[in-house]
Amino acid sequence: MLPHSAVARIIVSSGILGSIIIGSGFFASVGGGMQEHSVGASSPSSVVPRQGVPSGIAKLPPQGWPDTASAASLYPGGVWLNPETIPVTEVGKLRTAGNAADADALSQISSQPIATWLGDWWGSDLLKRKLAANTAAAELARTTPVYVIYAIPDRDCGGYSAGGYNDEDYLTFNRTVADSLRGHPAVMLIEPDSIAMLGTERCGSIVDRRLGLLSTVVQYYSQAGIPVYLDGGNSKWVDPQTMADRLTKAGVQYARGFFTNVSNFRLTADEKQYAEKLSRLLGGKHYVIDVSRNGAGWKGTWCNPTGAALGQNPMVSRTGGSMDALLWVKTPGVSDGTCNGGPAAGKWFPTYALDLVRARP
């Protein structure tokens, strides 16, 4: 399961997107320590719509973008800054209330791009409208939205974040997303924890079925020209060889690569060392790392740990190599659950958000 507890729910806000909450994280973002590729701006020529191709299952890995393209070319203009995230809203409330000090501090969060989580809490028509709105806003800003799919059947294998679609509806959902984004810059992270957790006893009966579903879904997005990353767990979860075997069965050959450390706190150096090993086992596949709250490393628990800190700001690599970007795939300041004084999972935790900022290296 993801390191938070609570199933998805929707809280409608005044914005076009509303507040989509999935346990402790509902939006995500980019952050990093590489040579900077500007996240918020680019020249007009940097946005090049990808050519659409018919829906269906790819028989061979798409040529070009999965392995040979530069990271910068896959994130035209950098990562899109959604102006309607919870941190943006909360900073606005603080300014309205005259609390400039806290607003200024939390702007370290609200000023960063945050990717959008998509799942079974949106109906098809609403999903299409949201994706269209996001695409229009991102293209106006000449940047690239990052999405996270979180709707797989038997999600969390019956754990705290249980739910998801049945197999048929899951495939339909992903076809809808892929077709909606076809021809537009976008990046997709598929199902955090879905592969790493397959070694647990409660997932034992679904391993082959899940890996097969993921392989099919990855091909939908690669056919649509959308770079995809699959779940790679984190540096303290599954050994690289076992993860490489699972990723191969999940269709990583059709993907750009994999992601690590989603909603976790592991240090970037440790994650990069692990990811490089995994990349080599996969023939040089690329990866991204969630660094949203790993500025101080692991603090002994996944749930609102004392002493955690913001990670580095978003960056997309321009230096080559297997690492494409360091992403905030967890919204800093959103509670992991009712632990350590926090509100319910997915709720804004203002004192914790400030603690993350103040503890930042």
What would the pLDDT profile of 322-336 be if each residue is shown by its tens digit?
Answer: 999 999 999 999 898
Catalytic annotation, pick one of 102, 120, 154, 156: 156
pLDDT value at 337 more than 90? no
**Roughly how many angstroms between the first and final C-alpha of the chain, as a whole number?**
29
Interval 214-230 mean pLDDT: 96
Protein fold of 9-358: TIM Barrel (3.20.20)
Place of tokens 């800093």: 332
Please state, as a whole number, how many other Cβ atoms lie within 10 Å of the Cβ of residue 312: 19
Please tell me the pTM assigned to this model: 0.82
In this predicted structure, what is the pLDDT of residue 169? 96
pLDDT value at 21 more than 60? no
Residue 156 bears catalytic tag: yes
Interval 129-139 mean pLDDT: 96
Q: How confident is the model over 234-271, as pLDDT tens digits?
A: 999 999 999 999 999 999 999 999 999 999 999 999 99
What is the pLDDT of the chain when averaged over all its residues? 83
Interval 334-351 mean pLDDT: 89
User: Lowest-confidence range among 37-46, 167-176, 302-311?
Assistant: 37-46
Catalytic annotation, pick one of 154, 193, 290, 355: 193
In this predicted structure, what is the pLDDT of residue 260? 98
Q: What is the Cα gyration radius of the chain?
A: 19
pLDDT value at 352 more than 70? yes
Q: Decide: 72 and 322 in contact? Cβ < 8 Å.
A: no
Q: How confident is the model over 52-99, as pLDDT tens digits?
A: 333 333 333 444 455 788 999 999 999 999 998 889 999 999 999 999
Residue 167 bears catalytic tag: no
Interval 135-160 mean pLDDT: 92
User: Lowest-confidence range among 56-60, 140-144, 191-195, 196-200?
Assistant: 56-60
> H helices of the chain, where?
71-74, 86-96, 100-110, 124-141, 167-181, 207-223, 240-249, 268-281, 350-358
In this predicted structure, what is the pLDDT of residue 71? 94
Residue 336 bears catalytic tag: yes
pLDDT value at 51 more than 50? no
Catalytic annotation, pick one of 154, 270, 324, 336: 336
